[in-house]
Every structure is written in structure tokens, then in C-alpha cells.
Amino acid sequence: MTDSRVLSLEGVNNFRDYGDYAVAGGGRVKRGVLWRSGQHVGASDADLDVIAGLGLTTVTDLRGDSERTLNPCRRHTSFAAQVLTCDGESAALASHIDAAKGVLTEADARGAMRRLYAEMPYRANLVAVLRRHFSALADDGVSLIHCFAGKDRTGLSVALTHHVLGVQADDVMADYLLTNTVMAGRDFHGRSGSDVSKYERMDEATGQALRGVEAEYLAEGLAAIRASHGTIDAYLAEVLAVDSAKQERIRAALVI
């Protein structure tokens, strides 16, 4: 993978910079201060050295208690970032595996993923940690956000962050879909905590509908937000406590 946003690590998937996009009204999101990834349980020592060089000040871990217990993140000996975690569970399993229950066909898989995205914005434990994530973004530090695979919970959260920053919709979607390119040919690292034999026996198209991301998934999540709150900004203010003043603080910290 040669995309300049991507850090090609040995044991951490989907590690990339989601800054450096143009924003509405002029300016760009800072580069090198906003990172996203999958979990770090499989990080090599060399990976840890690379991550340590980023100077992270905050890590938002969107996984729930069970996932963190099964797959504890490896840390560099110099690691000193504040880790924001979810109390309780933010998914029964990794989101794409959770969605696989009852799936027999590709159409089933796509339907399950759309339903997953429609309800994710209202998971109480996920909402709680996202509130802390957005508060931390206003502090002008270097942030990493991740979940199990770095694609669903992380994908929706990054899209919301991009919205706050004023990133254009096409770039928001392009960043979300970059997961499919970055993850091509790679396996997920870590244990799922469940019998995934049925998931592994699915045909390739059905499995990819769960393992990958599709524009329709993110669109479904954002549509569910608009259906309940009218606008993304209203959802941010009413659910995530990111009102217009906090949005301005975040933009002041992260847009140049």
C-alpha cells in the first residue's frame, strides 16, 4: 500500500492519517495529528517504535470491556497517552462479526451491516466514549481512534469528526472507503471471542460484505441520524454534547 496516508505496519491493520483534507470555507485539516486504526494486540516491536514516534497524546479505544480483555493492546515502553475507553460493551463482538449472525447471503450481509450502522449512533456506551473523544480533540494534541478492525465504529466516528471539521462529503466517503484498499489481502488480528466458523465458511462476496465497508453502510448511519435529529449538527449537540461552540474549538485546534 503506497498511499501516503497509510502506515504499513506489520501487526496493526488500517493505520492511517485522516487529516490533510480541505475544509469548507478554506484551510485544511492538520496532517500528522489525527490517526485511525484497528486494534494493537498484534503490534510488533517495530510497529510500537513507529507508533511511539507519532507523539500520541490521546487514544480513543471504541472496543468494549470483553474485546479489550481478549485483545489487550501492546504498548511501547515510553507510551504515555491518555486512553479513553468504553465502559461496558460497545458491540457484542467486533461489529462485522456481530452483524454476521443469521447471515446466509450477500444480501443478508449488506442488510445486516446497514442495520448495524443505523443503530450504532445510539449505543449508549459508544456515545459515552465519543463524548470524551470530541472533548479531547479540542485540546490540540495528537489523537488516535480505533476499534477491533478500524472500519465500522471507527469509520462512523471519523466521518462525524470530519463533519465537525468541515471536510467535504466526497472526501469523507473516500476516507471511509480507503479501508477496502488498505485491508486488501490482510487478515484481522486478534480473537473474536466467538465461534466464527460459520462466518469463515461464507462465500467470498458474503464475507467481503461483512469484512469490508460500503458507501451504503455509512450512508445508512448518517440517514438514521438525520431521521432522528434532522441534521448531523443537531445530533452532535444533543447526543454527543458537541455544540457549535465546541465545534469551533475543535476546528481552531485542528484546521490550518
Q: Specify the pLDDT at position 132.
A: 97
10 occurs within a structural domain: no
pLDDT in tens, 167-208: 999 999 999 999 999 998 888 767 665 545 454 567 889 888
Residue 140's pLDDT band, with cuts at 50, 70 and 90, is confident
Q: From the CB of residue 251, how many other CB atoms can be counted at a distance below 10 Å?
A: 18
Q: Does some domain include residue 150?
A: yes
Q: Is residue 30 part of a domain?
A: yes
pLDDT at 128 over 90: yes
Pick from 68, 42, 99: which is nearest to 214 by CA? 99
68 or 95: which leads in pLDDT: 68
Expressed in angstroms, the distance from the first to the final Cα of the chain is 28
Q: Identify any residues that bridge with 154 across adjacent strands, giving them in sequence order.
A: none
Instruction: Determine contact, residues 146/38, Cβ cutoff 8 Å.
Output: yes
Query: 22-70 pLDDT, tens per residue?
Result: 999 999 999 999 999 999 999 999 999 999 999 999 999 999 999 999 9
Q: Is the dihedral of CA 121, 242, 148, 184 positive or negative?
A: positive
Residue 197, domain CATH: 3.90.190.10
When pLDDT is averaged across residues 134-140 and rounded to a whole number, the result is 93
pLDDT at 188: 77
Query: What is the average pLDDT score of the chain?
Result: 91
C-alpha cell, 93: 463482538
Number of domains, the chain: 1
Q: Strands, DSSP E only, in 114-230?
A: 143-146
Q: How, if at all, do strands 82-85 and 143-146 pair? A: unpaired
Nearest-angstrom CA–CA distance, 114 and 223: 10
pLDDT at 1 over 50: no
| pLDDT > 70: percent of the chain | 89
Residue 164 lies in a domain: yes
Q: For residue 203, what pLDDT is reported?
A: 83
What separation in angstroms does the CA of 96 have from each of 27, 110, 149?
35, 11, 9
Residue 192 lies in a domain: yes
Average of per-residue pLDDT across 73-100: 80
Per-residue confidence (pLDDT) for residue 87, from 0 to 100: 86
Domain extent at residue 195:
16-254
pTM of the model as a whole? 0.91
Q: Please answer whether residues 58 and 36 qualify as being in contact, where contact means their C-beta atoms are separated by less than 8 angstroms.
A: no
Phi, psi dihedral angles at 166 (to 5 degrees)? 90, 20
Question: In this predicted model, what pLDDT tens digit does every residue of 240-253 receive, in sequence order?
Answer: 999 999 999 999 99
pLDDT tens track for 199-225: 456 788 988 899 899 999 999 999 999
Instruction: Tell me whether residue 5 is in a domain.
Output: no
Of 154, 152, 193, give the one whose Cα is nearest residue 67.
193
Instruction: Please give the backbone phi and psi of residue 58, each rounded to the nearest 5 degrees, phi first.
Output: -140, 135
Residue type (1 letter), 206: T
The answer as to whether 61 is a domain residue is: yes
